[in-house]
Amino acid sequence: MVLVNSSGLTQRRLLQAIVEMARSVYGAAAASVFLLNQETGDLVFEAVAGEGEGWLPGTTFPAGTGIAGWTVMCGQSLLVDDVSANPQFARDAAESTGYLPQSIMAAPLFRDDGECIGVLEVLDRDSRPRRDQGDLESLGLLATGTAEVLALLVRLRSLESTHDDRDGADAGGMPVLHRVADRLPAASEQVRATVTRLLQMAEDLLADDAAGSGRPDA
């Protein structure tokens, strides 16, 4: 599967903010976004909050590795409260990151054409009363928002490379992001607030990026 080139300050800032929000929502030890490398097909840690955030970004694993790899290959969300009992868990890969989780939630990131481009993963969510299916559904909603943001950034880069009008790209692109808002009424109040914040942050960062691209070089 060949999908997303991970480049650009705006993308990195957005993904880092997303994993920080995901970690906060679930009171987790860590949250991360993996993307599939376009050339190699490897899974790449693109953003990490919590355990491993200082050294894991940029680390790669072969496609199909662990629960993240299973999620990409199968295109299904997965919640595992005891990784030691799950055959998809890759203990050696986890140990290589410096943190061995007990539980993992993972949700795939899909392009508009239905192809999976990566995974949003949460490790060791806290011990507050859990709604296992609800937690997994809300993570899926965050993953949808993440994928929409990435799709818009790819579209904007494509338009820039062909020298199309940037303002027109922004005006046409933002409604793509807001399609995820149609699903917010079914989400918990906390997740609604989180995804709404994500959408607003995407607008702000894209506006800053557009303004910066119009400034003359120093």
pLDDT at residue 218, as a whole number: 43
Tell me whether residue 123 is in a domain.
yes
pLDDT at residue 170, as a whole number: 44
The range of the structural domain enclosing residue 46 comes to 9-211
Q: How many domains does the chain have?
A: 1
Tell me whether residue 191 is in a domain.
yes
How is residue 61 written in tokens? 């694993």
Tell me whether residue 38 is in a domain.
yes
Q: For residue 123, what is the domain's CATH number?
A: 3.30.450.40
Tell me whether residue 91 is in a domain.
yes
Tell me whether residue 178 is in a domain.
yes
**CA dihedral for 66, 71, 76, 82, sign (positive or negative):** positive
How is residue 158 written in tokens? 């494509």
pLDDT at residue 149, as a whole number: 78
**pLDDT < 70 stretches in the chain:** 1-9, 127-132, 155-218
Tell me whether residue 69 is in a domain.
yes
CB count within 10 Å of CB 142 equals: 26
pLDDT at residue 135, as a whole number: 84
pLDDT at residue 6, as a whole number: 38
Tell me whether residue 217 is in a domain.
no
pLDDT at residue 118, as a whole number: 95
Cα–Cα distance measured from residue 159 to residue 125, given in angstroms and rounded to the nearest whole number: 39
> For residue 48, what are the β-bridge partners?
32
